[in-house]
Amino acid sequence: MDTVSSSHIRYRQVSDLPCPRGLPFFGNLHQLPPTRLHLVLEQWARELGSPFRFQICRMPVTVWTDPELCQTIMRERPHRYRRYASIESVLEEIGSNGLFSAEGAAWAPQRKLIMHSLSIPHIKAFYPSLKAITERLYLRWQRAAARGEVVEMTEDLKRYTVDVTSALAFGEDPRTLEQDRGVIQEHLALIFPMLMNRINAPFPYWRYVRLPRDRALDRSLIEVHRYVRNMMSRARERMRDEPSESPRHLLEAMLTMRDAPQSDLTDDQVAANVLTLLLAGEDTTANSIAWTLLYVAADSALQQRLFDSSRGVLGSAPVCPDFASLKQLDLFEAVCTETGRLRPVAAVNSFEPLEDVCLADILLPAGTKMFFLNRPATIDARNFSNPLQFDPDRWLHDGSRARTTHDSRAYLQFGAGPRVCPGRYLAAVEMRLVLSMLMANFSIRMAVDPDTIREVTAFTMVPSAMPVRLSTRAT
């Protein structure tokens, strides 16, 4: 990959890339339903190869599937590449332009704070609270099993991750798992689908006319921002009434930085990071675990193996008793990782160069839109043996699979480079903790035909539903 520096080199142009047939003026816009965006792009990649382009009216978007190239671009952020610019503007409009979308000088100080707050030592110290929240999820599922109720797992898992994120990062546990209605998660759930629609819209119509879905978003944003500002106010009161030598959690750290003399951080930026963490914590981990259930429910032998493994660690306890014991639950994280290989929640990464660059002999002017598809590489036999087979053992490092193809660099669910996901350690702990609790205490089966569950693009890639029936196991 080179910066363009010589007019004597002959490059291919973006217009030279293959493109699916579209319509005059509209290009391929009519072929890109927002909820199926990743599926359409993957189909075009199979037909046209990589890279290719598609057109949104007059704007070309290049599409790539090379994971090494994606890793290179991730390593060169934020100085040479940035996220798709419309992400920042749309998130700015809804008051959530935090660490995820921040660019340039605004990124580094926020990154340092959040990485520290989501570090392994902080998560270890937080484990008693994390265990208590997991026990509440266990009790919720125990009641559902006793009543023979169908559990919409995605919704319950989102409640769980909202409770965890709020307690860890903000010092407040909203206890949404103990409520049936009126929880903040109901408002958060409306935001991601609308973000997807707006980021990929050819024209910002919502700035001129509000459709019913835009008005619904406006109402939810009012509630979410009220929730965030009230949380900030309560944190300031605790800092005043119960002073501490050092911040007790991320929100206190951000408020301390905000209130420092000559600080460049504003209340709006603090609020944006609070909302960013609520959204990220609520959506990605919850959907990753939910997708896992599709494979576990279909495999009784795997369920038994997971039951035996979890009971060997948990004993008679419903939840993993201590942080150290999590290390013995590698199989559970392997199951979630393998699910992510086949059902990537982060199905598409979007970037644009900040300067003219040349990738694979193609000249990309600054600002060229770039989509990287994650799944084609993870189901490529050049990267993983038997790529379409669900095989969690490929992620267990016991030396028995030394001759199989396994290129973990092709797996980019948590990103790479300076902007690798700061919540990856917390996600790993939640995956081990929740799935081991579920398998130790319940057997599961799908409440619908698995073939009716669709992949939906809603900023992340989510299941259309994940209804499950739980049966209590004898311990």
Q: How many angstroms from the chain centroid is the CA of residue 418? A: 17
Rounded Cα distance, 213 and 18, in Å: 35
Rounded Cα distance, 425 and 413, in Å: 13
Report helix, strand or coil for 354.
coil
SS3 assignment for 399-422: CCCCCCCECHHHCCCCCCHHHCCC
> Is the preceding omega at residue 51 within 30 degrees of 0, hence cis?
yes
Rounded Cα distance, 374 and 326, in Å: 29
421 is in an annotated binding site: yes
Alpha helix stretches (DSSP H) within 298-420: 300-314, 330-342, 375-378
Q: How is residue 355 written in tokens?
A: 């300067």
CA distances to 42, 232, 239, 356 from 69, rounded to whole Å, are 17, 41, 46, 16
Q: What is the largest distance, in Å, between two alpha-carbon atoms of the chain?
A: 74
Q: DSSP letter for 365, please.
A: -
In this structure, the strands spanning 2-3 and 357-359 are antiparallel
**Nearest CA-CA partner of 189 in 212, 208, 166, 161:** 161
Q: 3 and 79 in contact (C-beta within 8 Å)?
A: no
List, as residue ranges, the binding site. 421
Q: Binding site for heme: which residues?
A: 421
